[in-house]
Structure 1
């Protein structure tokens, strides 16, 4: 049986980062070319048929719509290439959950697509990059990885893009899955699936948009007033996501301003700034025309709302149905 043919699309990040010292805390992401990275990986002796392509070599805090578009185009091409069995994307961890979720919503599910990164630079003591990548290769090469949407492999866990989130600023176990937890546990020598595929044979849910509408995230804080809502509306916000208190709560002044925005046709989604938890609908949502983010945090809620607006979906009930589906 032949090894799976895996395309590796590299975008940089800590997995390609170097500090110039094994013990320095600071480092520069995106320093190692994918050809050099794959040459180092080959020394591990992991059976794999890998082809690399450099899309970018940046820290993921600098990800842009243009790079997303280029990455999506390369993935779309790979989906239609019978010589490619799966795709791995190397990516910085800061925005990995957003890129993974965007790709999850705009790609079909026939072939595995796996994002992987690292929390320690390649030349740091205890670097996790090659181990995470070896785990990603094992996942991408497994036929059971298809039909699950885009996956994120970090810290010996396999997370669905719909659930993955960066939960810690440091340490090799920086990612968590909410609300469903990991779909599999992976090591370079073993892979155990914990959940069945949930998207077998699905086409892409959204067309990748020609342009992304302006949808800012509004962070709630104590003694907050309505001025920031008005500022964002005046700046041309096509939709608004609130990172609210608790289960999506906000001061009365902010609620009044957001209700006016929703009445004027600007979709408003209530998410939470809290690390974990569902935001359910509340009695006021019907009158205010608000949408409850459910399990999506503010960053992912923004991505989904952008895709919905770009697709012409602006009715609160239809937007709520899309958030409930996640």
Structure 2
């Protein structure tokens, strides 16, 4: 049976044009969704598409306005009885953040697949059409639902919770942590590595058009409390620390964060390293800090924003949420 898929386009490299097959620089979001689906029509995919242009920009510019429109359109697509799955085309720089945000705020009723490309459409070795064909294979598969939002890049399928961009160039630029890929995919085959784990699950967090301000502070050698305070500013509702090692920080910074936590700001310790768990340490109870566990700083920020927006600001309740992600 031919699947009907709704494609929500936001721009990025997958819709980018360089003007030369050999140039390194290019314009992201130069191809509109109707033109892109015309190209896709020549692939012979067993699917019918309905496209909607949410934005057509570099993903570095993605923010609340685009997220609001994308979330609303995805909810509408999920509610459409004729729609089997949703594909979101997106730039790779912030793809993991958009995917995680959708993952936390959408029900797991139908497949939602986010896909991008590392090379523009007129580059030698353009990977966008293959990635898109793979996304169609995943979004058309009944076993894709009940797994949360998925990301398809480089013949691999990742869960939104795990996926992260780890390279600036090359088509093998995404990896999963703590799980690696959860499936291998080609345009003609799909091999899942396990059963769905979120079957019938509702959205984990509510949707809010405006999210509270939560800065990420990057720890470096020589960071002092004054610099920390300048980065946080006066309007922050919470703080994520991209700490050294397992979420560590200088003692002067720790003392200032304890003071801010006592004043009511939730503080989450994450790590600036590429991979690794940030577990609770003995001092976290006394300090009132939260350990980010497997979430990197950018995903920890999104989860903390969602929790605060939902009225959750108690450190123990926040920790429970992080432990469950």
> What is the TM-score normalised by the length of structure 1?
0.98
Aligned 1:87-236 pairs, distance under 5 A: 87-236=86-235
How much is the aligned-residue C-alpha RMSD, in angstroms? 0.8
Deviation at 1:232, TM superposition (A): 4.3
Deviation at 1:250, TM superposition (A): 0.3
Residue 64 of structure 2 contacts residue 209 of structure 2 at CA under 8 Å; is this kept in 1?
no
Please state whether the residue corresponding to 2:43 is helix, strand or coil. Answer: coil
Separation in structure 1 between the aligned mates of residue 159 and residue 46 of structure 2, nearest angstrom: 25
| Aligned counterpart, 2:53 | 54
Runs (4 or more) in structure 1 with deviation over 6 Å come to: none
Separation in structure 1 between the aligned mates of residue 20 and residue 231 of structure 2, nearest angstrom: 44
Please state whether the residue corresponding to 1:317 is helix, strand or coil. Answer: helix
| Aligned counterpart, 1:39 | 38
Separation in structure 1 between the aligned mates of residue 314 and residue 140 of structure 2, nearest angstrom: 41
Please state whether the residue corresponding to 1:255 is helix, strand or coil. Answer: helix
Residue 19 of structure 1 contacts residue 26 of structure 1 at CA under 8 Å; is this kept in 2?
yes
1:234-290 alpha-carbon deviations (Å, 9 max, x no partner): 421100000000000000111001111111110000000000000000011011100
Residue 218 of structure 1 contacts residue 243 of structure 1 at CA under 8 Å; is this kept in 2?
yes
- Greater Cα shift, 26-35 or 227-236: 227-236
Pair 210,26 (structure 1): closer, same or farther in 2 beyond 3 Å: closer
Residue 156 of structure 1 contacts residue 186 of structure 1 at CA under 8 Å; is this kept in 2?
yes
Separation in structure 1 between the aligned mates of residue 146 and residue 16 of structure 2, nearest angstrom: 32
Separation in structure 1 between the aligned mates of residue 163 and residue 222 of structure 2, nearest angstrom: 32
Residue 109 of structure 1 contacts residue 199 of structure 1 at CA under 8 Å; is this kept in 2?
yes
| Aligned counterpart, 1:74 | 73
Deviation at 1:228, TM superposition (A): 2.9
- Greater Cα shift, 42-51 or 271-280: 42-51
Please state whether the residue corresponding to 1:37 is helix, strand or coil. Answer: helix
Please state whether the residue corresponding to 2:130 is helix, strand or coil. Answer: helix
Deviation at 1:37, TM superposition (A): 0.7
Deviation at 1:154, TM superposition (A): 0.2
Separation in structure 2 between the aligned mates of residue 306 and residue 3 of structure 1, nearest angstrom: 39
Separation in structure 1 between the aligned mates of residue 67 and residue 207 of structure 2, nearest angstrom: 10
Aligned 1:306-325 pairs, distance under 5 A: 306-325=305-324
Please state whether the residue corresponding to 2:56 is helix, strand or coil. Answer: strand
1:297-316 alpha-carbon deviations (Å, 9 max, x no partner): 00000000000000000000
Gaps of 5+ in 2: none
> What is the TM-score normalised by the length of structure 2?
0.99
Residue 185 of structure 1 contacts residue 192 of structure 1 at CA under 8 Å; is this kept in 2?
yes
Residue 217 of structure 2 contacts residue 232 of structure 2 at CA under 8 Å; is this kept in 1?
no
Separation in structure 1 between the aligned mates of residue 228 and residue 312 of structure 2, nearest angstrom: 22
| Aligned counterpart, 2:298 | 299
Separation in structure 1 between the aligned mates of residue 283 and residue 51 of structure 2, nearest angstrom: 51
Separation in structure 2 between the aligned mates of residue 62 and residue 112 of structure 1, nearest angstrom: 26
Separation in structure 1 between the aligned mates of residue 9 and residue 65 of structure 2, nearest angstrom: 15
Please state whether the residue corresponding to 1:18 is helix, strand or coil. Answer: coil
Please state whether the residue corresponding to 1:55 is helix, strand or coil. Answer: strand
Deviation at 1:65, TM superposition (A): 0.2
Separation in structure 1 between the aligned mates of residue 209 and residue 178 of structure 2, nearest angstrom: 31
Separation in structure 2 between the aligned mates of residue 144 and residue 282 of structure 1, nearest angstrom: 38
Gaps of 5+ in 1: none
1:181-233 alpha-carbon deviations (Å, 9 max, x no partner): 11100011110001221110001111111320000000000011001332245
Residue 233 of structure 1 contacts residue 261 of structure 1 at CA under 8 Å; is this kept in 2?
no
Separation in structure 1 between the aligned mates of residue 5 and residue 106 of structure 2, nearest angstrom: 17
Residue 5 of structure 1 contacts residue 85 of structure 1 at CA under 8 Å; is this kept in 2?
yes
Aligned length: 325
| Aligned counterpart, 1:18 | 17
Deviation at 1:83, TM superposition (A): 1.2
